[in-house]
Each structure stands twice: as C-alpha cells, then as structure tokens.
Structure 1
C-alpha cells in the first residue's frame, strides 16, 4: 500500500474559503459545508467536500483531525500595526478625556514625542517583551500574520532597532511577521527646523541601511497636514523603490492631501485610513490596484465623524482591508475581531466584506500572494472556530471563539 500523500487532513467541518471563485452555497464567504482540507509540506494540498475525497481518510493522511462541526477560515492577518514601542500613554488618554487638547499635551512633553523618547531609551529585549505581550491577544484570536511598523525611533539606529525587534517576534511567538520602515512618521525634535535635512537622512542613510540589512519588507510614510507633504513623501518613495522596496501610505486621514492619488502613482500596496480621499484619488487607486486599509480603531478613539468612502470603494471594486492600527496614541486596540465589528457597525461593511478584509485583502495589502484564502497551493495558515456561521466573527463584542490555529500546516501552540 502506498504511503499517505498528505501530512494532515481536517474533516467534518465547514470551510469559509474566502476564495471569490469558489462558493458552495452561493454565499460571499466561499463556503463549503461538510468540507475537508488537507496539508502537505506546509501548504494546502486538497480542499473540497468530504464526500469527494479520493479515498478513505486514514489512507490519505498520516494524521486525521475531526472538526466536529467547527468552521475553518484562513488565518487572520493584521496588516497595519505599530506593535513595537516603548512605554504607554494611558495618562494622556485620561487627560484628553478631562478636556486637555492634544496640542497642550504635546507642549508638555507628551504625544508622539514621548513615545519616541521612550522607544529610543529602551533596549531591544525590553521592546521585544512589550511587543510580544501586545501580540499575544491577537494570536489568541486566530491571527497568523502581522505587519509591524517602525516610526518611533526617527533616527538611524533607533529605526533599525525597531525593525530588528519586529524581525525577532517570530522567534518568540508562532506568527509570520512583515516589517515596514516608517521613518517618515513624524519630524524628530532635532530636525524641528530642518525638514529637508530629515528627509535627506531617511533617503541617504535609513532606507539604504534597512535595505542592506534585509530588515524591511516595505516602506511607509505619513502624508498629512501634520506630518509630511506629498513632495517629501514622493522623495521617500522614490528612494524606497530604488532599493527594491514596495511602498505603503498613511493617506488622507485628517484632510484631503492627495495621498490616495500619490500612493497610486507609486503603485503602493495600500493606502491606509483614507477618510478624506476624493474621487480622483479613488480612481487612481483602482487603476493602480492599490488596496484600501480601513482603520476603525483610530476613527473611534479620535471620535472622528468623516467615514472612509466605502461606497466609492465598492463602486470601483477597490479591495478593502481592515486592521487594528495598534499603537499607543490613537488606537490601543489588541483585538482584530473587535475591528471586524467596528468595520461593520461604524463603516457599514458587511460581515463577509469584513472577514475578507482581514484575510484575502489584508494579504494583498502586504504584497503576499501565498495566503489569505483556502485554496490548493497556498500556505496552510488556518483559524478554527466554535461558531455556527462566519458572521459570528463580526457579531460578538468581546471574547474569542477561536479554538485553535495552524501555521504553515503545523498546529500552533502559544508558549
């Protein structure tokens, strides 16, 4: 008798494939009822109905797992986080609730400047411990891939330190990490009177060093009235692409700065926030294939009222990803499942759009073509759920129904 061809076979469950061309019941999740999924060498080897298996389960796989009616989705992807930083800013949040303005807090030594000081002062091990603690709740919710940005160093060594910590996360926790250089996040105090000098530092030292050391998978920037101009951002992006790094952009969050169109002009993987993006910017994104990353956590905490142009994104078939935007100042959110609910409740997404936003579209926002759906040949990153239907993932407020996860075909055990 031939040896089993598959490493693991999951049976007696239901599959939300999130594959747009595969819908057993005609629903938006690409569902397969009473399905089966097999893995070999870390990738999905077979997927379909149990009735269509080409033989007896015990003959097909070395290990057979009974799902007992549970659901499987692709492993969730948090595609926009600022996980690595020093200290906290809880007291500043309390001060804002008591009526102090962000400007007043910044003048007294708070705001992003405070996080920069604390991050610069912390060593790699301390930053790693803090980031890992913040990441664990996300992993408990079925997250298997996470993007981590720098941007609280704002100098050569501190930015590289943050990226090295991001690269170390997958050595201490079972997760796939993408690291993004965000040196163009804010103007550091030592360059307060020399904006051009800081952009030169980014372009001539920080980006080349990060690229040479293989520390960054992409370059991001904050193009906004309170941050960097389109011209400054364009210079950063030109340098990034010259070093073989794709780009992403914090765009049009507080005003229409032309960020969406700028991101599209450089073929950006994603334009994130985009509450104020105009029709021309959306047209450019659609033509360039740039993903819109919606971040309801920051919208909620900042009590914003201008919603992202969801109807315009739908009309142009622009993929919509969702993410926590986990950061100490404007989105201290450690739950991607809560993000799903906020995407539906605050922005009007359907539960299926929200789930696609943390799987298929989130993968695309990171330039990853090997995950985000359940399909043969893709990485076998799975999340297992004690639910009756996929919409429950966006329905419940608090608590995770995740009963397990699989990373590259291996059952994940959180240390």
Structure 2
C-alpha cells in the first residue's frame, strides 16, 4: 500500500482536527446528569465529571462562566447544564465546556421546552405561512377543555355577553396530568371527524409550568398542526406561552380573550386589529427565532476562532501540569526524606559515641551477669558447706559426747577402749561434752 505523505497525521494534528469536527457539528447542547470528581483549583476554573447510570463525560467550566452559578456544586448533585462539546488536545479527551449550570427540576422542564420549541420551529410547525385566518362568520365554536374548569365558564360568559347566537360544542378532556395529552389529541381527532364546528378553541386557566406541561407535548403539537379545523390556543395567563400557542393558527392571552377574538360586536374592527397584531407578533417571533438561530451559528463559529478559547485550553493544561508537578515534588521530597533518614541511621551506627554506648551497655550487661553468677556460686558454696557440716556432724565424736558419752585416753592420748589397756594407779583422761576429767585407776573390772 502506497502511503501519501499528506495523509500522515501527528497526534496534535489529529486531536486538533477532531476538536474542529466536534465543535463544528455539535452545537450548544443541554445535559442533565449527576456531578462527581468535582474540583475547584486556585485558577478559578471548575473541573468535574457528569454521569448517569451507564456513562460519564469530563467537563470544564471556566472562570467567568461559573460566576453566574448561584449555588455551590458538590458531588452527587443532580444538575442541568448547557455547553459545547470540545476536545482537550493535550490528552485527546473529548469534554463538555459548560457555560450555564442550574439545579435539576424546573430548569429541566424549561430546557425540554426550549429544545422542543427549536425542534418544531426547525420542522416548520411555527411557520407564519401555514397559519389560517379566522373564519369570517363564526356560528359554532368547539371548545376543548375541562367541562368543570374556570376556562369554560369564562368563555361561555364572554360569548353570552358579546354574541349569544354563537353555539358552543364542548369536547371534554383533561387539561393537566400525564393522561391529558392523549385526551386532548383525541378531542381534536373527534372534532375533525364530525366537522360540526367552524373553529376549535384549545384552552385552560393559568398555572405553573408543570401544570401547563401537557400543552407542550410534541404529539399534541403535530395533532394541532395537522388539524383540518382552524385551532385557536388560549392556555394560561397572559405571561404563559406553550408549544400549542406557537403551533395553533392563532393565540389568545386568556380564555376570555379567546372568546372575544372568536365573537363579533361593535368592537369588531378592534378585534380584527388585535388579530393582525397577533399575526404580526407571531411573524416577528418567527423572524426573531430565525435571527437567533443565525446568531447562535455565528457565535459558534466565533467561539471556535476566539483566542480566549485557546487561552482556556492553555489554562486547563496549566492546571493539569500544576497537579502533576505538585505530585512529583511531593513524591521526590518523600524519597529524599526517607534517604536522609537511612543515611542518618547509617552514620549513627558508625559513630564512636554510638559504639561506646553499645560497649557501655554490653559492659553493664556483663557486670550484671558476673554479679548474678557470683551470687549463684556463693549460694551454691553455702549449700555445699551446710551439707558437709551436717554430714560431718553425723560422724563426729562430739555428737556422741552430746548424748552423755565420754572419750577416755591414756597419758599419751591413746583412746582407751579396753580395760586391758590400763593398770591400777595409771592416770586417765575423760573428755566430756563440756570439759575433761583426770582420774586414777583404782580397780580394773574385766
């Protein structure tokens, strides 16, 4: 296989091309996940990992961007973030550069709302050209709402006051909760099948974003868009806007305003003007959305070419090198300290003072051993002497003398043990236990 030189990449070139590819094809995204490995070094930048039950992605939020975060991020926290996919070229890691972070919850609903709004707008469901004008002579209005809610009461009250001749057909449906979108879609389908009304009014009273969430359903948006009957949306209060408002042919700020829009009286021209104003506002919103998309694309291009982006990469690289240097220095100091301790121990073992201390300890030990051996020897000798004395005492004539016996000797000191050894008139000596007797033999008895 022939290798063309221009097809050979360096690692840096490959990572740079991958970064441009990701940044060019993946625009700003929303992501909800759990924080882990959160780090906030002295540079002011934040580094973290976002994960779910199966995957994770490294993230960075640079100083200046994180100043807008109004809570302290911590590990285990569920958040909603917005950012751009990029590549950290020195490591070849792909990462998410975060520019917005908020707690998960209402923020997640808002993000889903914006994503669906952008998706449907791109698909043309909000296009002004597809909007149908109000019928010129409305005789019957189909109202899709809760039959017991405040919205139907407001609509009926206004119609009774303005044009009692208009008939109202109610297509009941839940306007809140998980089951509401299917019921609303079914009501639209029934109205289109019967073809018994001139226009459909999709309405309910005000509430929170969560309360109105069923009107942000994608399937409901397509059902409104595909309806053969013109649809007017009047969901919530004046400040509330839902996906159904953008898809519908016309929008009213409140249920009462919708009833006024669909009925004629002496202020008919004003109502027509209001309708034209709504159409103009919708066109302006559509134009504004298109301009916003173009500006966002331009911002993405500018962001990829912005020198600040390169500075952020270098700043992140600096933080990583600082961590590595700090770790290396710590390990080096620990090794040097261990080596110094070993050398000090070796020097101490060769020191004359150390040797003298060892010899003094050894001499002290030997002295104690000598004293112990002398004491043992003295005890042993004392015992032997006592045993000898006892043995000697058992065979000593002195022991016999103590029992009342005496030892008789002649004048030469010879022990007389027979009467035949002495003569009458001879002097003899008797040794007693205490003292001696000198006697003269006067009679010999054999």
- Considering fraction of residues, name the structure with more helix: 2
- Which is greater in Rg? 2
Q: TM-score scaled by structure 2? A: 0.22
What is the TM-score when the length of structure 1 is the normalising length?
A: 0.23
